[in-house]
Amino acid sequence: MSSTEETTRQSPVTKKAIRALSRTGKRDIVTPPIRDSESGLLVRHIATKTMKGDLMLKVRDRGTGDQHFYLVDATTLRDASPYFGTLLDPNKFAEGIRLDERTKEIGMKHAGYNTVPLADLPVVAVDDVGQVPAQASTEAVFTLFLCILHTLVVTWAQPDWSSLAMLAIIADRFDALQTVATFVARRGWTNRSFSWDERTPLGVKGEQLVRQQILVGLSFGIAPLFRKQTATLIVADSVLWSEDEVAGKIDQEALWWDLPQGIEGTSGHDPRTNGTIQADLLTYRRDVVSSWIPPRDDQFAPTAFHKSIHL
């Protein structure tokens, strides 16, 4: 039995995801899932005709529990992502060893990959795509990420800030921030931002939007966006800094509620302790956030959250 034939939960044609994308103005029509007649799997063909689709990625969607399959080009992944370059190295990890062995077997049996059944391709499982919200579906954003790495034409006109923040998290997870940051900049997807009216409370939804933009600005090296929204957070205050009851109800697993690189200081608020934020800690947080604002835009560059490749 091939590795793709194992029993797995997979979404039916992902019609729900497509309808959801349409409602939010995002259309992922470049790589719709196609039913493979032999294996019965729904597979998104990321590898183009100029690439050899020689690897299947099986990605677990944390929010839905579904498994999504992608036909990709291993060489492209290695070149675009040091994470995959390490994972698929035949001298370092089992995934790379299996890929190397299977590639040699396929080369002996087939003239080209266009004749290889999908069920015969090596499969690499991806269970962790980064610190995304616990209930969020990552299918559309991860598809976008792979399309960017494979330099496919992307039809999304304007992803919302939640999608851009998740794209930043995924790009960081797979050590491809520079590639994705360049793409995002060329598309002009961050050439707008949320403006807060100081006469009204920011609220949880408003703060989430501000935090998503801070994360995008930090990860993609967009100094004006980062500067503007860190200033907003400082002036408006955060519910995490002052409101214990509200903070305990927020999905703090999302990275934008736990900003990386010590932006909010190291003495975090832990709702499990039912503790309160003291005035000096609030001042400390403001000072720490303020210290992160770059003096010049050219001193700001895409910033990775992790210190090393985490497999």
Residues 172 and 200 in one domain: no
How far is residue 33 from each of residues 2, 10, 11, 41, measured CA to CA in Å?
20, 11, 10, 9
Residues 37 and 100 in one domain: yes
Total number of domains constituting the chain: 2
Residues 10 and 156 in one domain: yes
Lowest mean pLDDT among 6-20, 30-44, 112-126, 234-248: 6-20
Give the residue, 226 or 171, on which the prediction is more confident.
171
- Is 225 domain-assigned? yes
How confident is the model at residue 214, as a pLDDT?
92
Residues 147 and 200 in one domain: no
**What is the pLDDT of the chain when averaged over all its residues?**
75
Asked whether the predicted pLDDT for residue 102 surpasses 50, the reply is yes
Using the 3D structure, point to which of 132, 149, 177 is the last residue of a domain.
177
CB under 8 Å to 4, separation ≥6 — which residues?
A: 39, 41, 56, 58, 69, 118, 119, 121, 123
Residues 135 and 208 in one domain: no
197 pLDDT band, cuts 50/70/90, is confident
CB under 8 Å to 133, separation ≥6 — which residues?
A: 63, 166, 251, 253, 254
Residues 78 and 110 in one domain: yes
- Is 273 domain-assigned? yes
Q: How confident is the model over 65-85, as pLDDT tens digits? A: 899 999 999 999 999 999 999
How confident is the model at residue 12, as a pLDDT?
34
Residues 204 and 271 in one domain: yes
How confident is the model at residue 179, as a pLDDT?
93
Using the 3D structure, point to which of 145, 177, 209 is the last residue of a domain.
177
Residues 46 and 119 in one domain: yes
Phi (first) and psi of residue 98, to 5 degrees: -65, -40
- Is 183 domain-assigned? no
Q: How confident is the model over 38-61, as pLDDT tens digits? A: 778 888 888 865 567 889 999 999
How confident is the model at residue 157, as a pLDDT?
76
Residues 21 and 93 in one domain: yes
Q: How confident is the model over 109-148, as pLDDT tens digits? A: 877 777 787 888 889 999 999 999 888 889 999 999 999 9
Asked whether the predicted pLDDT for residue 180 surpasses 80, the reply is yes
Max mean pLDDT among 67-81, 94-108, 259-273 falls in: 67-81
Using the 3D structure, point to which of 147, 177, 207 is the last residue of a domain.
177
Concatenating the DSSP letter of every residue in 287-304 gives HHHHHTS-SSGGG-----
Residues 147 and 221 in one domain: no
Domain range for 224: 196-299
- Tokens at residue 203, please? 């609220």
